[in-house]
A and B are shown apart, each in its own frame.
Chain A
Amino acid sequence: MSVQNGFGVISKKFAGEVFRAREHRFLQFTSALLEYTVMNAISLLAQLAPAPRASWAPVVLMILIAIGFAAANLVLSIIIGPRRDGPGKSQTYESGMVPIGDTRKRFNVRFYIVAMIFLVFDVDIIFFYPFCTIFPQTVLKQHALAGPMLVEMILFVVLLLVAYFYAWGKGVFKWD
């Protein structure tokens, strides 16, 4: 049975819950096995530390694990990953819109500049969030750092405003 929608035909089997559970158990098992092996190997190698050449073994092992992890993920997803291609799935994802035309076309440079301005305000939220969770506690406990923290945050906001006013002055918001 299949469903017709705006993007083409999508198989109902795509939900594939039976397969997913099996895959999940398999992955759990392999990761546990891998963890056990690596932990043992590291503790074994740590005992060899006094010997100068053997003491590099953890570094080599680390590099091997890094390469092996990347390669294993690629290989595993090829082997055990379900592959049910359809015209709907191979289509470009455009935030839920039906894609129009080619992606290799020129955009107005304004979009780039607007994206940069977005970053100015996007980054500050990342910084505000931890600040807001910590700051009330420092004030309540009358910690010595409460004052400097507030000053630093105000400085940070002022710096962001400088970036904003700079962009304004350079005419970024003039949208002709």
Chain B
Amino acid sequence: MTGYFSLLLPELILSTVACVLMLLGCSMKVATRKRVPILALVAMIVVFAIQLGRQQGDNASVHTLTDLSGTLRIFHFAQYIKLLVAGVGIMLLLLAWPTNAEGTGNSAMNVGQETGEFYGLMLLSLCGIFIVAGANDIILLFLGIELASIPTYIMVSISRPNPVAQEAGVKYFFLGAMSAAIMVFGFSYLYGTTGSIKLDQISQLLHPASASESDPAQTAMQPWVLLAVIMLVAGFAFKIAAVPLHVYAGDVYQGAATPVTAFLSFVPKTSGFVALIKILYAVGGSSWALPATLVKLLWVIAVLTMTFGNVLGLLQTNLKRLLAYSSVAHSGYMLTGIATLAGAYLSAGQDRSTVQTDALAGVIFYLTAYGIMNAAAFGVLMLLPARDGRAGTSAETIEDIAGQGRRHVGLGLCMAVACFSLIGIPLTVGFWGKVLLIKPAFSGGNNWLVVIIMINAAISAAYYLRIIATMFLRDPVSDAVEPTNGSRYPLPITAAIGISVFGTLLLGTVLPLTQVFTTGTHIAARIDDGTPSPK
């Protein structure tokens, strides 16, 4: 049992700074707008440092941290997710840095006077995932997911003065509200059947300690619980843009300003995956005893998401839309890990727990890898000019980037690294991500899943390589206009691309470093140590 204050310290810092930023947003001074991102960055770095200090090794003396009423339960999983979100959050914050003279935006984004509010919302959204990671209470879990999502609806709308952005924001808001309704309906059934709102108590009720660990009958689930879980999966599927709830992704990602698109491709997705893992853990117990119906459902969603994402990605000419469908496909890859995890109880015999740990560690590693490698792709798009040369617009269509790789060699190479990593070519972190997902799928007996992942990786190579080929092999379109305002390579955005590219390459090539991360994710695969909650 630990005090509220120390348990919630990162969340408190983020929400306090968010409030201060909101109040600073009232100021009309340029100097204030310029200081706002610095304050946000300092807060994120402090939170990152706190989380780095809280990472613990595989130590038997470490127990689940919980508060007086058992609303929060924090173990390795939650601590790792918080560290990951703080780290990637710093990168996403740098991407959205207001670099122009008025402090209202950068080459791809224009939030007008609302710089303070924009950063405040960004920190609140990141704070939402922190809460999702630590929550042990389905009400707090739901509030955390909504705290992570609602600010993003506003961020999409205010990110640029453009009807497309407004449309994207409204679309995202209404569909998000519908998914939240389905999710909360599912939570209500979960409460109705178990009579508890605490995840650990739900787990104990559904899987009493007296029951045998490897009994297949453990996977039997009351229809009401199954209905609840299916509704929750539907709600989370919207957040992670999984088929068939992916339809918003294209429009919303295209409509939002590029830094916000980068934010959308990581933050709601992470909150959805973390919540999904926590709910599966709660209803499956510590041995992940999940019914075959649910496993089949996850399997089908994973396969459809990968395939739809990649095939639709092939058809796009707008790069942000293309990256949106690539993000859908990457959700699919991560869902294969979840499907393996869920199916291991029934299909993998003796080495069941190894497969489960590997699968969950694979998902967490892929989430890390995706967060690291994705930022570079969006950052490069932000720094390349659009053909029509309007202020505050950056490259969006495939025509815009034609031949730009030869004009801006550094950016071209960064994009190449990001694309190779997204395909999963060796020497990048994306390769290890796929390896670590395929390995447990293979040993868990999901051979068909492995085949489908490989086919999808091949399909995805077509459109990622098309980006690189267009950048380097095609001639620039003659009416391309270079941006005239401000520095061509602003430091914060270049720094974000740099962190992303170096992270991608270092984690892909320096094996001891990769080893550090795989060990870290294996420790993070432990969600709870089962210490009883205080009554």
Provide the bound-state CA to CA distance between A144 and B3, in Å: 12
Q: What 0/1 pattern do residues 134 to 172 of A give for CB contact below 8 A with B?
A: 000000000011001000000000010010011011100
Residue numbers in B under 8 Å from A159 (CB-CB) = 19
Picked from A49, A55, A56, A166, the residue with its CB within 8 Å of the CB of B23 is: A166
Residue numbers in B under 8 Å from A145 (CB-CB) = 68-69
Using A55-B223, A58-B224, A59-B224 as known contacts, say yes or no to A162 and B69 having CB atoms under 8 A apart.
no
Q: Is B489 an interface residue (CB 8 A)?
A: no
Picked from B26, B222, B223, the residue with its CB within 8 Å of the CB of A166 is: B26
Determine if B68 and A144 form an interchain contact, defined as CB atoms under 8 angstroms apart: yes
Using A159-B19, A169-B23 as known contacts, say yes or no to A56 and B68 having CB atoms under 8 A apart.
no
Determine if A148 and B4 form an interchain contact, defined as CB atoms under 8 angstroms apart: yes
CB interface residues, B 170-189, toward A, < 8 Å:
none
Picked from B23, B68, B222, the residue with its CB within 8 Å of the CB of A162 is: B23
Residue numbers in B under 8 Å from A144 (CB-CB) = 68
Picked from B19, B22, B27, B223, the residue with its CB within 8 Å of the CB of A56 is: B223
Provide the bound-state CA to CA distance between A162 and B68, in Å: 28
Provide the bound-state CA to CA distance between A169 and B227, in Å: 47
Provide the bound-state CA to CA distance between A145 and B70, in Å: 13
Distance in angstroms from A136 CB to nearest chain B CB is 19
Residue numbers in B under 8 Å from A169 (CB-CB) = 23, 25-27
CB interface residues, B 43-74, toward A, < 8 Å:
68-69
Distance in angstroms from A68 CB to nearest chain B CB is 19
Q: What 0/1 pattern do residues 11 to 52 of A give for CB contact below 8 A with B?
A: 000000000000000000000000000000000000001000
From B117, which residue of chain A is reached at the shortest CB distance?
Answer: A166
Provide the bound-state CA to CA distance between A162 and B16, in Å: 10
Distance in angstroms from B150 CB to nearest chain A CB is 14
Determine if A166 and B22 form an interchain contact, defined as CB atoms under 8 angstroms apart: yes
How many A residues, CB 8 Å from partner? 15
Distance in angstroms from A176 CB to nearest chain B CB is 18
Distance in angstroms from B328 CB to nearest chain A CB is 30
From A50, which residue of chain B is reached at the shortest CB distance?
Answer: B220
Residue numbers in A under 8 Å from B222 (CB-CB) = 49, 55
Q: What 0/1 pattern do residues 287 to 323 of B give for CB contact below 8 A with A?
A: 0000000000000000000000000000000000000
Provide the bound-state CA to CA distance between A159 and B68, in Å: 23
From A147, which residue of chain B is reached at the shortest CB distance?
Answer: B4
Provide the bound-state CA to CA distance between A4 and B181, in Å: 48
From B227, which residue of chain A is reached at the shortest CB distance?
Answer: A59
Provide the bound-state CA to CA distance between A166 and B23, in Å: 5
Determine if B22 and A148 form an interchain contact, defined as CB atoms under 8 angstroms apart: no
Residue numbers in B under 8 Å from A170 (CB-CB) = 26
Distance in angstroms from A89 CB to nearest chain B CB is 34
Picked from B26, B27, B68, B227, the residue with its CB within 8 Å of the CB of A148 is: B68
Residue numbers in A under 8 Å from B26 (CB-CB) = 165-166, 168-170
Determine if B25 and A166 form an interchain contact, defined as CB atoms under 8 angstroms apart: yes
From A161, which residue of chain B is reached at the shortest CB distance?
Answer: B19
Residue numbers in A under 8 Å from B27 (CB-CB) = 169
From A148, which residue of chain B is reached at the shortest CB distance?
Answer: B4
Provide the bound-state CA to CA distance between A74 and B211, in Å: 49
Provide the bound-state CA to CA distance between A65 and B76, in Å: 44
Provide the bound-state CA to CA distance between A43 and B25, in Å: 59
Using A166-B25, A169-B23, A169-B26 as known contacts, say yes or no to A59 and B69 having CB atoms under 8 A apart.
no
From A171, which residue of chain B is reached at the shortest CB distance?
Answer: B26
CB interface residues, A 48-96, toward B, < 8 Å:
49, 55-56, 58-59
CB interface residues, B 214-251, toward A, < 8 Å:
222-224, 227
CB interface residues, A 104-148, toward B, < 8 Å:
144-145, 148
Residue numbers in A under 8 Å from B25 (CB-CB) = 166, 169
From B67, which residue of chain A is reached at the shortest CB distance?
Answer: A148
From B221, which residue of chain A is reached at the shortest CB distance?
Answer: A55
Residue numbers in A under 8 Å from B19 (CB-CB) = 159, 162
Determine if A162 and B223 form an interchain contact, defined as CB atoms under 8 angstroms apart: no
Query: Closest 7 interchain pairs by CB?
Result: A169-B26, A162-B19, A55-B223, A56-B223, A166-B22, A59-B223, A59-B227
Q: A56-B223, A165-B23 are in contact. List 9 more A-B contacts (CB 8 A).
A: A59-B227, A162-B19, A162-B22, A165-B26, A166-B25, A168-B26, A169-B23, A169-B26, A169-B27
26 A-B pairs in the complex with CB atoms less than 8 angstroms apart: A49-B222, A55-B222, A55-B223, A58-B223, A58-B224, A59-B223, A59-B224, A59-B227, A144-B68, A145-B68, A145-B69, A148-B4, A148-B68, A162-B19, A162-B23, A165-B23, A165-B26, A166-B22, A166-B25, A166-B26, A168-B26, A169-B23, A169-B25, A169-B26, A169-B27, A170-B26
Query: Which residues of A come within 8 Å of B, CB atoms?
Result: 49, 55-56, 58-59, 144-145, 148, 159, 162, 165-166, 168-170
